[in-house]
Amino acid sequence: MPSVANLYIAKVRVQQEARPLFPDPLLQRLFGNQYLVEPHKKVENSLGSGVVVPGGYILTNNHVIQGASLIQAALPSGRILEAQVIGADPDTDLAVLKTDAKDLPVIPIGSMDKLRIGDVVLAIGNPLGVGQTVTHGIISATGRSKLGINTYENFIQTDAAINPGNSGGALVNAEGELIGINTFILSKSGGSQGLGFAIPADMALSVVDQIVRNGRVVRGWIGVSAQNMTRELAEILKTKENKGLVITGIIKDSPAEQAGLQPGDILTHLNGKEMRDSVEMMQGIAEIQPGAKALVQGWRGEQRIELSILIQERQPQTEPAPQ
């Protein structure tokens, strides 16, 4: 696949250690830095994969390039290009790279609406640094979430073999069209055990678009924590509603507090759309532009509630640890 690149990453670490003969903090305080070894640099090399998407940008995982000092993208044609990070989104574990090249081969994009469980897919990447490799499998599931990997999750699950080095590579359909960005595996051995996960192409390309336009991803926020409604919770809250989510906490002076939401409120709809769980709510709110108003509906005890909330921008979160 000409539009899938092997990525080679160099990370420079600066290390400084006390001399073994003078480890005592008191001596270091008395005699200062003369008893410290001069800082030395250590270069760590890693690898991954990337996909050339519309616009000529290279899309990959954030954990692949996080902390990189140098990134090289090697294409199947033999071209080796230096790449720079123009933006990253730790919440989805995606990053966008650019090169000086103007004529990179762009991968065609598949339709997410046509995805079906059982469809044949191919995973393309650079596993273990052996070079571009293609493995095949099927779509095992779609819409996977609550895996605790990213803040925003909506993964395609596949049994196509994915190994270290495949991260950031392409998951394509039988027509060779991009449907996902291979991101991580669940494995006890560290190698493929048929549980691979890819970020859907439409979600990934939306992140690319925002990073290219804004330099970052802008998401809506209302300032609540919530958990899914269950029959057990419905009994505790003495309500017949066992769908949606229950508000468990509200940040002071947040949009939710200003709108009148209270802990214990049950939310069932966002802008007229039913919310099945807290993941759907968080993703739905994230898609609303700051400054817009969102209408939430639900229950407070036996009373029906309908509140308008002024969306604010969600502040960037700390980066997740690489997988």
220-221 and 170-173 as β-strands: parallel, antiparallel, unpaired? unpaired
Paired residues of 7 in beta bridges: 48, 73
Phi, psi (rounded to 5 degrees) for 309:
-120, 130
Annotated catalytic residue, options 3, 46, 49, 63: 63
Residue among 72, 59, 65, 58 at smallest CA distance from 104:
58
Q: Which helix (H) or strand (E) holds 247?
A: strand 245-250
Catalytic, 136? Answer no
The percent of the chain in helix, strand and coil, each rounded to the nearest 5, is 15, 40, 45
CA angle 39, 42, 45 (to 5 degrees): 160
**In this structure, what is the dihedral angle of CA atoms 90, 207, 67, 145, given to the nearest 10 degrees?**
30
Outline where 11-61 has alpha helix (H). Answer: 25-31
Rounded Cα–Cα distance for residues 222 and 300 (Å): 18
Annotated catalytic residue, options 140, 167, 192, 278: 167
Catalytic, 145? Answer no
**Rg, Å, the chain Cα set:** 24
Residue with tokens 């200003």: 258
Annotated catalytic residue, options 93, 140, 192, 265: 93
Q: Which helix (H) or strand (E) holds 204?
A: helix 201-214
Catalytic, 63? Answer yes
Buried b (16+ CB within 10 A) or exposed e, 264-291: ebbbbbbeeeebebbbbbbbbbbebeee
The catalytic residues are 63, 93, 167
